[in-house]
Amino acid sequence: MNILNNWKTLELVTRDGETLVCIEGRVYGSNPRFPSSSHIRTSPVTGYSFESNSMVVMTKRGSEYLLGKADPSETFAQQRLMRRLSRLGQKPPSTFNELDTQLTGYTESRKEDAAKES
């Protein structure tokens, strides 16, 4: 699988007003189409997943890229990418949403207490 380093997200708008998300960066891997360290722009991203705590994006052309280090000027690049994809309706394969806060330890008795107070 190809690795993208020094990557950044691009949000492009087509003539028809459709918003597309692409990624630009330096590609590393064994794919003969790309000499190592080539600067590329992916086709539109169609989804993503996580493998060993690393984000993998899938593109319209069927390619998969493991996202390495983001461009230093892109703060919180991975979170911003997930937010953009989520806005466009492209969700991760699991039901867990990394961007939402998750409640833990909220028992039924606490729900009843909260209902009584309101």
Average pLDDT over residues 32-54: 87
For 9-35, how does the pLDDT look when each residue is reduced to its tens digit (9 = 90+)? 999 988 988 889 999 999 998 777 777
For 88-109, how does the pLDDT look when each residue is reduced to its tens digit (9 = 90+)? 775 555 444 544 544 455 455 5
Please give the mean pLDDT across all residues of the chain. Answer: 80
Helix (H, G, I), strand (E, B) or coil at 118: coil
User: For position 30, what pLDDT does the model report?
Assistant: 75
Q: What are the residue ranges spanned by the domains of the chain?
A: 2-117
Give the DSSP letter string of 38-95: EEEEPSPEEEEEEETTEEEEEETTS-EEEE-SBPTT-TTHHHHHHHHHHHTT---SSS
Average pLDDT over residues 47-56: 90
Average pLDDT over residues 51-76: 92
Q: What whole-number distance in Å separates Cα of residue 96 and Cα of residue 62?
A: 24
Say if residue 110's pLDDT is above 90.
Answer: no
Contact predicate 88/21, CB 8 Å:
yes
**DSSP code of residue 100:** S
